[in-house]
């Protein structure tokens, strides 16, 4: 949700109003508002004498007593207490990918210059501008045109936007208006458009093509072996030629594998299509991979749009014959504000971890965890928005491999999802909790947060538990029941 806390205009004393853009029905929910005054001093946050003004409370708890709606406007009584102006959304600039907001001429309550601005949508995203310290943030203001530009994070059709302005004379005003269509894939230029495919037929020629930043790479038939993951730091499509079989094999070692096994995606407009990914060697050579290690890894703290992972056959690394049972290594891991499509793949291993969105996860076949590993879920997500999960088919193929559930999300995500569709997925026999296990000394048994196929994970969806924690005691002859069962549909 979005919130704005402001002094009440025209009222003397320490009186303020809290504006909340509700993203769900908050009826009977309790909130705590903590206020820090300008003359507050560091100290015990539970002691208002040390922490804030001596004569004023700094923490207020309140309960919402009426129904709230994500699409409703703010109450008229609150609007009446605040100066307003008029603004409207303009079509997205197709050249720059920026969305635009135009202020209606003559509607501002003062002729003083705008020094600060905050734009918020009704789902929790904000964009800021602050000219008082010489910094421009996510909003860019053209004073002559009366226009703000910003990079969209979703299609805002059907949403309300709120723009709050602060002027040089200290006054504030706000406007609320409808959003318009925006395509986040236009945020960054796609240099692949109009380019010609470059054929490669070996690992060396593929590496050379990537070093030369060829935008369209076509893989010819064969098996390509690499000594470490490939970093994709520019817009590129790597696709198998029509009708051929291509396998990319990555030889595991403990020096060349940081956060990924096969690919590090460090750019927008990256596509992988139509080939297999396999590993040579076992997981013991990796030691303890860092949290978030995955076969395909999005670059941490990057914002990559139009990521396309389609028609791949991916199998995660597996333990060696003498290694104990262990946590399955993730198949994919993308971070905040990454977005794209994961479709038509055959996947075996740990989870596909997604943050924010938009994402389409459709028509994938998940074959569960590899033998002697446990996958917490096929999908794991946090703070998701504008995500479609459709037509995926799940089953556990290998004995002694355990996939605990279809989908898990962090417990802190309650109330933060919006515009999700989960439909027509099949969860077949073999996907579920393993039998009770007694771990050996120093080992960790696999835990399931719940018995449901869609589950809130109280440990958090970022999965910060040790990546290579091991345990023993799994039965060697069978796993969860693999007898034919009626599919569950979501």
User: Parallel, antiparallel, or unpaired: how do β-strands 172-178 and 30-34 relate?
Assistant: unpaired
pLDDT at 104: 96
Is the alpha carbon torsion for 42, 48, 50, 54 positive or negative?
positive
Evaluate whether 248 touches 240 at the Cβ level (below 8 Å): no
Q: CA-CA distance, 206 to 221, in Å (whole number)?
A: 13
Evaluate whether 277 touches 262 at the Cβ level (below 8 Å): yes
Evaluate whether 401 touches 326 at the Cβ level (below 8 Å): no
Query: Residue 358: is the preceding peptide bond cis (ω within 30°)?
Result: yes
pLDDT at 323: 86
Evaluate whether 112 touches 83 at the Cβ level (below 8 Å): no
23-53 exposure pattern, b = at least 16 Cβ within 10 A, e = fewer: beebeeeeeeeebeeeeeeeeeeeebeebbb
**Residue 322 tokens, joined:** 């003498």
Q: CA-CA distance, 306 to 338, in Å (whole number)?
A: 8
Q: CA-CA distance, 202 to 140, in Å (whole number)?
A: 46
Q: How far is CA 190 from CA 95, 304, 343, 346, 420, in A?
A: 11, 12, 21, 27, 27
Residues constituting the chain: 490
In tens digits, what is the pLDDT along the chain, a chain of 490 residues? Answer: 556 666 655 555 556 667 666 667 778 888 777 665 554 443 344 443 334 444 455 667 788 887 776 555 444 335 556 789 999 999 999 888 999 999 999 999 999 999 999 998 877 778 888 876 655 568 889 999 999 999 998 899 988 999 999 999 989 999 999 999 999 999 888 999 999 999 999 999 999 999 999 999 999 999 999 999 999 999 999 999 999 999 999 998 766 667 889 999 999 999 999 999 999 988 887 777 777 789 999 976 678 999 999 999 999 999 988 888 889 999 999 987 799 999 999 999 999 999 888 999 999 999 999 998 999 999 998 888 899 999 999 999 998 899 998 988 764 444 456 788 899 999 987 887 654 444 444 444 455 445 456 665 543 333 322 222 222 222 222 233 333 233 333 2
Beta carbons within 8 Å of 441's beta carbon, 6+ residues apart: none
Locus of tokens 């037509």: 391
pLDDT at 15: 63
**Residue 370 tokens, joined:** 């590899």
pLDDT at 139: 87
pLDDT at 254: 66
pLDDT at 76: 39
pLDDT at 52: 41
Neighbouring CB atoms inside 10 A of 280's CB total 13
């Amino acid at each position: 949700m979005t919130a704005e806390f402001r002094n009440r205009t025209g009222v003397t004393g320490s009186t303020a109003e809290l504006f909340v853009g509700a993203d769900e029905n908050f009826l009977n929910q309790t909130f705590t508002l903590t206020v820090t005054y300008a003359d507050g001093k560091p100290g015990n946050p539970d002691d208002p004498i040390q922490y804030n003004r001596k004569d004023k409370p700094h923490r207020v708890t309140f309960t919402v007593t009426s129904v709230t709606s994500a699409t409703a406007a703010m109450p008229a009584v609150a609007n009446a207490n605040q100066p307003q102006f008029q603004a409207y959304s303009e079509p997205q600039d197709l050249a720059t990918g920026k969305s635009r907001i135009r202020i209606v001429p003559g509607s501002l309550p003062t002729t003083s210059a705008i020094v600060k601005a905050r734009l918020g949508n009704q789902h929790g995203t904000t964009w800021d501008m602050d000219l008082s310290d010489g910094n421009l943030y996510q909003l860019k203001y053209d004073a002559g045109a009366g226009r703000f530009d910003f990079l969209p994070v979703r299609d805002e059709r059907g949403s309300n936007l709120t723009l709050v302005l602060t002027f040089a004379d200290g006054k504030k005003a706000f406007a609320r208006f409808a959003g318009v269509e925006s395509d986040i894939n236009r945020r960054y230029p796609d240099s692949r458009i109009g380019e010609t495919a470059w054929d490669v037929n070996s690992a060396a020629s593929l590496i050379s093509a990537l070093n030369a930043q060829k935008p369209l790479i076509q893989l010819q038939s064969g098996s390509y072996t690499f000594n470490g993951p490939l970093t994709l730091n520019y817009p590129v499509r790597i696709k198998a030629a029509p009708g051929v079989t291509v396998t990319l094999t990555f030889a595991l070692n403990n020096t060349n594998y940081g956060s990924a096994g096969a690919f590090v995606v460090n750019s927008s407009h990256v596509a992988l299509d139509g080939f297999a990914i396999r590993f040579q060697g076992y997981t013991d050579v990796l030691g303890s991979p860092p949290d978030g290690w995955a076969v395909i890894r999005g670059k941490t703290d990057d914002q990559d749009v139009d990521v396309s992972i389609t028609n791949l056959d991916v199998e995660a690394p597996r333990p060696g014959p003498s290694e104990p049972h262990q946590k399955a290594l993730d198949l994919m891991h993308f971070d905040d504000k990454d977005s794209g499509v994961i479709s038509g793949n055959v996947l075996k291993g740990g989870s596909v971890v997604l943050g924010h969105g938009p994402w389409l996860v459709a028509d994938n076949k998940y074959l569960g965890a590899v033998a002697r590993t446990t996958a917490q879920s096929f999908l794991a997500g946090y703070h998701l928005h504008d995500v479609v999960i459709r037509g995926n088919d799940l089953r556990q193929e290998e004995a002694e491999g355990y996939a605990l559930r279809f989908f898990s999300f962090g417990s802190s995500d309650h109330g933060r999802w919006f515009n999700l569709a989960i439909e027509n997925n099949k969860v077949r026999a073999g996907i579920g909790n393993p039998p009770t296990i007694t771990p050996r000394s120093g080992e960790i048994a696999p835990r399931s947060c719940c018995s449901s196929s869609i589950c809130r994970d109280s440990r958090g969806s970022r999965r910060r538990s040790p990546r290579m924690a091991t345990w023993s005691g799994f039965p060697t002859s069978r796993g969860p029941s693999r007898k034919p069962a009626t599919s569950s549909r979501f």
